[in-house]
Amino acid sequence: MTSLVQAKTINSSGVYVVGHVDTKSCSPTDQGRRLSFNDVIRLTVPTKDGSEEVQSKTYSVDELKDLQSKLMLIAGKAEKGKDEVEQFVKAS
For residue range 68-87, list pLDDT tens digits in order.
Answer: 999 888 888 888 777 776 77
Distance CA 61, CA 38 (A): 6
Q: Compute the half-sphere exposure of residue 53: CA atoms within 13 Å on the CB side of its CA.
A: 2
Number of domains in the chain: 1
Q: What is the pLDDT of residue 27?
A: 57
Q: Count of CB atoms within 10 A of residue 42's CB?
A: 20
Q: What is the pLDDT of residue 51?
A: 63
Residue 43 belongs to domain spanning: 3-91
Collapse the DSSP code of 19 into the 3-class scheme (helix H, G, I; strand E, B; otherwise coil) and give the result.
coil
Q: Count of CB atoms within 10 A of residue 6's CB?
A: 20
Task: Say if pTM beats, i.e. exceeds, 0.75.
Answer: no
Q: What is the mean pLDDT of residues 6-23?
A: 83
Q: What is the pLDDT of residues 36-66, one digit of tens each?
A: 878 888 899 988 766 667 788 999 999 999 9
Distance CA 33, CA 51 (A): 43
Name which of 22-26, 55-59, 81-85, 88-92 the model is least confident about.
22-26
